[in-house]
Amino acid sequence: MRLLRGLALVLISGFLLLTGGTGWARAETVAIAQQYGISYLPLTIMRVQDLLGKAGKAEGIDITTNWLTFTGGAPMNEALISGNLDIASGGVAPMLVLWDRTRGNMDVKALAALGSMPLFLNTSDANVKTIKDFTDNDRIALPAVKVSIQAIILEMAAAQTFGDDNYNKLNGLTVSMSHPDGLSSLMNGTAGITAHFTSAPFQYQELADPKIHKVLDSYQVLGGPHTFNVVWASKKFVDGNPKVVKAFMVALQQAVNFINAHPTEAAKIYIADEKSKSSVQSIVSMIKDPQNVWTTKPQRIMEFAKFMQKTGLIKQVPATTSDVFFQFSK
């Protein structure tokens, strides 16, 4: 009997030692998606350094992450709705579309921003100085027609240039392409692409070629810096997985802090992960560009929402930015 009690005490001691006295660490599997480009660097850092796994252990859970790559926000939203994705990432526009469509049921909201960055509309056509100069012969590549953040900004620019009723004047020229494919098509003159509305690093890689010039800058259209990408999830996921979500938020902030504190190391991680041919210095210059702000705080979300409601893409305008972001206690 004493032998059995002694063995039980040993087992219990080992159990408490392994679990920090809180019980077995619960295993969780989370599906997270990102897209192409340096704007997703916080998620890349999180993945490469396993920050979510480490933050999960601090919460007493073992998190296994399935990282997925999408070319745009629309298919990502479909995956989230179907239950094949837990946390999505992408432009403000597709997040707002899903927020609007799921109010009262899935209640999808943003968890945090990934940063504020300008988006460039570049062209290879020397005759195109402004968007007024585009003709029916032009084709503008962007991640997703009508719903990507680039598509919305192009409509904003058209409304400012041609009048509110003509916000969709250039929509017929747009073509859905991933950022890498859009870059390749613009540089090689294939698929009829004469312009590309993209993001870093692709926009800077294009402008390094003397035959490419910038037509439009999203900061000009929005009147200043704006959030580019955000991460979002459903209320069911957030409410049902509080420790996972807490760990994700901690890991995301750690990734952002790492980028700001160690731009060279972050650049090396990006290049290795993307198998990019870019130089370390070129990526560092993008990371340290004063216009590219690495922060989880949103900017100018309401400007997007008001315009999208005006054009019928969403029905409801949030009262404040807080309405489309989950609020977590400090």
What integer best gives the mean pLDDT of the chain? Answer: 91
This prediction's pTM = 0.86
Q: Which two tokens stand for residue 283?
A: 């990526």
Asked if 23-117+226-324 and 120-222 have one fold, the answer is: yes
Q: Which two tokens stand for residue 266?
A: 């972050």
| Residues contacting 221, CB < 8 A, separation 6+ | 153, 156, 157, 160
pLDDT at residue number 328: 86
120-222 belongs to which homologous superfamily? Periplasmic binding protein-like II (3.40.190.10)
User: Residue 90: which H helix or E strand, with range?
Assistant: strand 88-91
Q: What is the mean pLDDT of each run of 10 residues along the chain (330 residues)?
A: 42 41 64 93 97 96 94 85 95 94 96 97 97 97 92 97 97 96 96 96 96 97 96 97 97 98 98 93 96 97 97 96 88
pLDDT digits (tens, 9 = 90+) for 221-258: 999 999 999 999 999 999 999 999 999 999 999 999 99
Whole-number Å distance between alpha carbons of 41 and 265: 12
Q: Are 71 and 36 in contact (CB under 8 A)?
A: yes
Q: Which two tokens stand for residue 125?
A: 């056509």
pLDDT at residue number 329: 67
23-117+226-324 belongs to which homologous superfamily? Periplasmic binding protein-like II (3.40.190.10)
Whole-number Å distance between alpha carbons of 105 and 117: 32
- Domain assignments of the chain as residue spans, ordered by start: 23-117+226-324, 120-222
